[in-house]
Structure 1
Amino acid sequence: MQTIQSGYRGLSLLLKINFDRLFVVGTIIVGLLAGAFLGTAIAGL
């Protein structure tokens, strides 16, 4: 049980530290997907 608890605390700490990096990567992915969608929508006209 202690191993699971310490592992969860370690994972939680990593997420807190790297949240801004994950947010930036997520934003880039969403932007690329939106651009691909708009590109295919405009090309279909």
Structure 2
Amino acid sequence: MDNKTVEEEPESQRKPWQIRYILLAILIFAAIFNAWLFFGGGS
């Protein structure tokens, strides 16, 4: 049971891994950009 779940998890998570990573990078970049604009543009 554990072996099947472990073997089926990485294969199914191999594709969304890239999309999730890109989405996370965009989210962090947007947050930093927003903070930079708020601190830099506000002043």
Give 2:3's aligned residue. 5
Q: After the TM superposition, which parts of structure 1 deviate over 4 Å for at least 4 consecutive aligned residues?
A: none
CA RMSD of aligned residues (A): 1.4
Q: What are the Cα deviations for residues 16-38 of structure 1, in whole angstroms up to 9, with x where unaligned? A: 12222112211211111111210
Give 1:32's aligned residue. 30
Gaps of 5+ in 2: none
Identical amino acids, percent of aligned pairs:
2
Gaps of 5+ in 1: none
TM-score normalised to structure 2 length: 0.68
- What number of residue pairs does the alignment pair up? 42
